[in-house]
Amino acid sequence: MKIGFIGCGNMAKAMIGGVIRSGVCQKEEILASDAFAPARSAAAESLGICVTESNTEVAEKTEILVLAVKPQFYEEVAEEIRGSLHENQLVVTIAPGKTLAWLEEHLGKETAIVRTMPNTPAMVGEGVTAMCPNAMVTQPQLAACRALLESFGRAEQIPERLMDAVVAVSGSSPAYVFLFIEAMADAAVAEGMPRAQAYSFAAQAVLGSAKMVLETGKHPGELKDMVCSPAGTTIEAVQVLEETGLRSSVMQAMRVCAEKSRSMGGK
- Residue 9 assigned as binding residue: yes
- Residue 169 assigned as binding residue: no
- Residue 11 assigned as binding residue: yes
- Residue 230 assigned as binding residue: no
C-beta atoms surrounding 144 within 10 Å: 21
- Residue 224 assigned as binding residue: no
**Integer Cα distance of 59 and 81 in angstroms:** 6
- Residue 6 assigned as binding residue: yes
**Integer Cα distance of 128 and 163 in angstroms:** 13
**Integer Cα distance of 142 and 114 in angstroms:** 8
- Residue 7 assigned as binding residue: yes
- Residue 55 assigned as binding residue: yes
- Residue 8 assigned as binding residue: yes
Could you list the residues known to form a binding site for NADP(+), using ranges.
Answer: 6-11, 68-71
Question: Residues marked as binding for NADPH?
Answer: 55
Residues of each annotated binding site: 6-11, 55, 68-71
